[in-house]
Amino acid sequence: MWGNALKIARIRGFDIKVDASWFLIAALIVWSLATAYFPTELPGAYTTTLVASAVVAMLGLFASLILHELAHAEVAGHFGLRISGITLFLFGGVAEMQSEPASGISEFWIAIAGPVASLCLALAFWFSAEIAEVTRSPAPAIMVLNYLAWINLLLAIFNLLPAFPMDGGRVLRAWLWTRSGNLLAATRRATTISAIFAYGFMCLGLIAAFSGAMATGLWPILIGLFLLVTSRTALAQLETKTALDRRTVAELMTRQPWTAHPDQTLSDLVNRVFLEHGISFVPVVENGTLLGYVDLQIVRKIDRENWTTTTVDDVIESVDAGNTVPPQLAGLDLLSLVMKTGRRKFIVADQNELLGVITLSDVLAYLNVFREVAVPTS
Ligand SMILES: [Zn+2]
């Protein structure tokens, strides 16, 4: 998701990265502050003063967002989770954790740390603004400090909305998780509640757009879509991880699959195996020894009129590390192999002995059943 993020710094071992979309937001913030918000606060000020104040305010917001994410990262580190980096993007920031929290308690503290940091920043900026006022500091400085106090307060409140995977949604999930002891059931509940917020945001956006405020209406719609996509992705990832955890290829594969003989002609293979049993991938075995495989793609490369004269042996794809997996391979590792190589069908073998065949469809079929029955819905 953050493929085009630019690395700008390294703080306490974390890479701080900025996604291209954040530059757009930074420009929008400077523009709206300099042309709309600050001119009403400082009537009669020079344009250069307004633009300079807007840039300083934007940088202050930038630093505030990073401190918010650093707070998450620090607490996560305290609970032994590794953080690979912090990325700022369109909707704020994200601390990339390399694994999920181990308990509801740790998830609660990691999630709440960000809004608490924003709240502390709001107080600090408010206090600084008060001091600046008492010491009669320049008006633009007081204005920027006040703006940063308000924006951090808003950030804290907005992030505390119980819409998973925002901070408040994670706090909610932590509570549900601690109460039920079931992370997957808690995530499902939190995702459903998040969807209600997402549709609510989108409705508000549509109402605003139809009443003429097109640009204002766009934001809630985007936030709603973002919530829907991120919460569902997080849920799907967790379902996959839970379902395939401790499952091996041997448990998920098709045992005793149909096989082909090297002397078989392609027309015989197509009619007696592919069409007869509705399959498109078969291991080739001779006298109990696994030689390789043939599939529909290989056969289709041969002209149909040559199918009666071509044998399986002529087109066989030999066994190698790329198309064969051991039975003890973890289900999750198989899935990452599929993602990495794009290959969807594998032979399962021990030395040269054929044990079975495993396809992406086998894994997905299992995931579907798991989703339907393995988790209580409340
Ligand atoms: Zn946060």
Please give the full DSSP string across 279-298, using - where no structure is assigned: -SEEEEEETTEEEEEEEHHH
CA distances (Å), origin 280, targets 248, 267, 359: 23, 14, 11
∠ CA 293-298-303, rounded to 5°: 140
Rounded to whole angstroms, how far apart are CA atoms 220 and 205?
Answer: 5
Task: Find where tokens 């999750």 sit.
Answer: 332
Are the C-beta atoms of 61 and 148 separated by less than 8 Å?
A: yes
- For position 358, what pLDDT does the model report? 94
- For position 324, what pLDDT does the model report? 93
Rounded to whole angstroms, how far apart are CA atoms 61 and 70?
Answer: 14
From ligand 1's centre to the CA of 113, what distance in Å? 7
- For position 352, what pLDDT does the model report? 83
- For position 15, what pLDDT does the model report? 83
Choose between 365 and 12: higher pLDDT.
Answer: 365
Q: Tell me: the pLDDT tens digits for 85-113?
A: 888 877 677 777 777 788 999 999 999 99
Does 69 participate in catalysis according to the annotation?
A: yes
From ligand 1's centre to the CA of 245, what distance in Å? 28
Q: Tell me: the pLDDT tens digits for 260-318?
A: 999 999 999 999 999 999 888 999 999 888 999 999 999 999 999 999 999 999 999 99
Residue 16 has pLDDT above 70, yes or no: yes
Mean pLDDT in residue range 351-371: 88
- For position 375, what pLDDT does the model report? 63
From ligand 1's centre to the CA of 169, what distance in Å? 10
From ligand 1's centre to the CA of 338, what distance in Å? 33
Using CB atoms within 10 A of its CB, is residue 51 exposed (0-12), middle (13-18) or buried (19+)? middle
Q: Give residues with Cβ within 8 angstroms of 111, minimum separation 6.
A: 72, 167, 168, 170, 171, 174
Task: Find where tokens 């703006």 sit.
Answer: 147
Mean pLDDT in residue range 148-166: 93
- For position 102, what pLDDT does the model report? 87
- For position 1, what pLDDT does the model report? 47
- For position 5, what pLDDT does the model report? 76
- For position 3, what pLDDT does the model report? 58
Are the C-beta atoms of 164 and 170 separated by less than 8 Å?
A: yes
> pLDDT confidence of 376, banded at 50, 70, 90?
low
- For position 377, what pLDDT does the model report? 52
Pick from 176, 159, 177, 156: which is nearest to 168 by CA? 159
Are the C-beta atoms of 293 and 273 separated by less than 8 Å?
A: no
Show the DSSP H helices in the chain as ranges.
20-32, 38-41, 47-78, 104-134, 139-159, 167-180, 183-210, 214-244, 249-252, 266-269, 276-277, 296-300, 312-315, 331-341, 360-373
- For position 120, what pLDDT does the model report? 98
Residue 349 has pLDDT above 60, yes or no: yes
- For position 37, what pLDDT does the model report? 85
- Dihedral of alpha carbons 322, 326, 328, 331, sign: positive
Rounded to whole angstroms, how far apart are CA atoms 289 and 6?
Answer: 52
Maximum Cα–Cα distance across the chain: 96
Residue 366 has pLDDT above 50, yes or no: yes
Say which of 41, 69, 74, 130 is annotated catalytic. 69
From ligand 1's centre to the CA of 182, what distance in Å? 23
* Overall pTM > 0.85: no
- Dihedral of alpha carbons 161, 164, 166, 172, sign: positive
Choose between 246 and 143: higher pLDDT.
Answer: 143
Rounded to whole angstroms, how far apart are CA atoms 301 and 195?
Answer: 47
Q: Per-domain residue ranges for the chain? A: 6-244, 249-373
Q: Which residues surround ligand 1, an ion (CB under 5 A)?
A: 114, 159, 167
Q: Tell me: the pLDDT tens digits for 53-90?
A: 999 999 999 999 999 999 999 999 899 888 888 888 77
- For position 293, what pLDDT does the model report? 94
> pLDDT confidence of 157, banded at 50, 70, 90?
very high
Mean pLDDT in residue range 151-175: 93
CATH 3.10.580.10 assigned to 249-373: yes
From ligand 1's centre to the CA of 139, what distance in Å? 31
- For position 198, what pLDDT does the model report? 95
Rounded to whole angstroms, how far apart are CA atoms 333 and 173?
Answer: 27
Percentage of residues in the chain having pLDDT higher than 90: 55
Rounded to whole angstroms, how far apart are CA atoms 205 and 222?
Answer: 9
From ligand 1's centre to the CA of 191, what distance in Å? 17
